[in-house]
Structure 1
Amino acid sequence: MDITFEHVNYTYQPNSPLATLGLKDINLKFTSGSYVAIIGQTGSGKSTLLQHLNALLRPSSGRVLIGDQAVMTTTKNKELHDLRRSVGLVFQFPESQLFEETVLKDVAFAPKNFGKSEAEATEIARDTLRLVGIDESLEDKMPFDLSGGQMRRVAIAGVLAMQPEVLVLDEPTAGLDPLGRQQIMQLFQRIHEERGITIILVTHQMDDVVAYADQAVVMSHGEIAKVGTPAEVFADLDWLTAHNLELPSTGRLVQRLQQKGFKFTRMPLTVNELLADLEPQLKRGSQLG
């Protein structure tokens, strides 16, 4: 399912002295099956854009095409039921939204709410819990008796139980240690590969953009500043600095190597690319020595 923004503008508190433009003339397409990262400094419009992806916000003007359904300023809530099942949102600290008395009931809530029978919802919940790595022995526990990492997996399972075509992730690894962050990101990658779900990731972790996304969208002051592959977006150091964006860790290492005299004709973003660029320079250095 594609999601397309056509000349989308969004104004907070319109027709008041506090009116603020959140999005300005956004034209953008998220292609079915893609993995897209949305990046930009705080206040750039990332969260406002994200909330249009399943019509939590509706455009002040323009429209968002979500599959075959057009969402405009006049679209009514009753028209959005099926759409909101198709686009699942995982917000920061999703475990704060757990509420049922057992893990299984919490994950089964969404499919029941969207019309599945008790038996169907339970089967979907169990399948989804296995997908995110939650063992059967934890199904009857209270969610808040689990570890922080397990709680987050249960909350993610609750979104996946809606069986969405698109999964929107808003800083999904916030508050996790490095190992926990890696495990959660690998989980999303596996879901993306095995189930073909479109992933739209809002993040400040540039290493995750490089490792997982096939396209990056840079937001700035409510507008789209750049769209391209991670290699294209991270190629211009001066442009990144002007937009207050960090380089991924490999790029920061390249900057230090440049200060020591190493030359790079491109910005290597992975360890393998960096080694490929360094090897001939190191060989020449050893020969001269």
Structure 2
Amino acid sequence: MDITFKQVDYTYQADSPMATLGLRDINLHFKSGTYNAIIGQTGSGKSTLLQHLNALLIPTKGEVVIGQQVVTPQTKNKELYDLRRKVGLVFQFPESQLFEETVLKDVAFAPKNFGKSVAEADEIARRALRLVGIAPELEDKMPFDLSGGQMRRVAIAGVLAMEPEVLVLDEPTAGLDPVGREEMMTLFAKIQSERNLTVILVTHQMDDVVRYAEQVVVMEQGRVLKTGQPQEIFADIPWLHQHNLELPSTGRLVQQLQQQGFQFSQVPLTVPELLAQLTPQLKQVVTYE
């Protein structure tokens, strides 16, 4: 499902003395079935933008087009029922939203709420649980008897049970160790591929950005600073430093290698790209010695 922002502004507490501009003149396009990342400093407007994707927030100016749904300042809440089923949001620490007495009931809650029968909702829930790696023997357990990683997977299954066309991920690996983060990001990539979802990820993990994203959006002070493929965004190291953005770990290693005399035609962002440029230079050093 395509998503387009057209000249979108959002003002917190509009028409009051406390009015604060959260978004300004946002023009963006997320193509259906693509993996997108949004990066920027805390307070840059990333989460505010995400909340427009299923109309938790309504623009105070402009319009957001999500599939066939057009959301404007005049849109009423009753018009947004179908949209909120099509856009699944995974916030930080989604396990904190678990509430039912069993795993299966928790995941089946959303499809039941959207009109499915108990049998249909349970079947949808089971498919979602298998997709995230939760075994059948855990379905009758209380969610809070599971491990932290299992709880997070159950919470994500609850979002997937809505069968969304768009998956929005707001720092979904917050609080996880490196192994847990890798498992979770691999899971999201699998889900995106198998269901052909439009994925929009907000993260401070630049390694995840270069590994998964097809388009990167850089935000600053409520506006879009730059958009492009990861190679375009991370090619200008001085520009990144100017805007307090980190390089991925491979890029940081490249900086150290450049100080030792190695040269790179462009900044390699992944290990294979680094090896492709570094190996010929290492061979020359060995040959010279």
Counterpart for residue 53 of structure 1:
53
Cα separation, 1, equivalents of 2:104 and 2:111:
12
Deviations 1:72-115, CA, capped at 9 Å, x for gaps? 11111110000000000000000000000000000000000000
> Is there any run of 5+ residues in structure 1 with no aligned partner, and where?
none
Q: C-alpha displacement at 1:156, in angstroms? A: 0.1
Aligned AA for 2:182?
Answer: Q
Deviates more, 1:100-109 or 1:277-286: 277-286
Query: How far is the alpha carbon of 1:144 from its aligned partner?
Result: 0.2
SS in 2 for 1:175: coil
Q: Distance in 1 between matches of 2:133 and 2:248?
A: 29
Cα offset, 1:19, TM superposition:
1.4
In structure 2, what is the equivalent of residue 109 of structure 1?
109
Secondary structure (helix, strand or coil) at the match of 1:70 reads: strand
Amino acid at match of 1:72: T
Give TM-score, length-normalised by structure 1. 0.99
1:227 and 2:227 aligned: yes
**1:222-263 deviations in whole A, cap 9, x for unaligned?**
111110001110000011001111000000000111111111
Equivalent residue of 1:58, what SS? Answer: coil
Alpha-carbon distance in structure 1 between the residues aligned to 2:205 and 2:154: 23
The whole-number CA distance in structure 1 between the counterparts of 2:283 and 2:131 is 47
- How many Å separate the matches in 2 of 1:261 and 1:15? 58
> Which is worse superposed, 163-172 or 262-271?
262-271
Q: Which amino acid aligns with 2:119?
A: A
SS in 2 for 1:218: strand
Q: Kindly provide the CA deviation profile for residues 114-150 of structure 1, in whole angstroms up to 9, marking residues without a partner as x.
A: 0000000000001110000000000000000000000
- Partners of 2:14 and 2:192 in 1: how far apart? 38
Alignment of 1:101-180 (within 5 A): 101-180=101-180
Letter of the structure 2 residue corresponding to residue 21 of structure 1: L
Q: Secondary structure at the match of 1:80?
A: helix
Equivalents in 2 of 1:236, 1:217: separation in Å? 15
After the TM superposition, which residues 1-289 of structure 1 pair with which residues of structure 2 at under 5 Å, given as runs?
1-289=1-289
Q: Which amino acid in the other structure matches residue 29 of structure 2?
A: K
Question: What is the SS of the residue equivalent to 1:133?
Answer: coil
What is the alpha-carbon distance in structure 2 between the residues aligned to residue 17 and residue 50 of structure 1? 25
Give the total of aligned pairs.
289
* Paired residue type of 1:162: M
TM-score by length of 2: 0.99
Shift of 1:17: 2.3
Segments of structure 2 that go 5 or more residues without pairing to the other structure are none
Query: Could you tell me the percent identity over the aligned residues?
Result: 74
User: What RMSD, in angstroms, separates the aligned Cα atoms of the two structures?
Assistant: 0.7
SS where residue 65 of structure 2 aligns? strand
SS at match of 2:51: helix
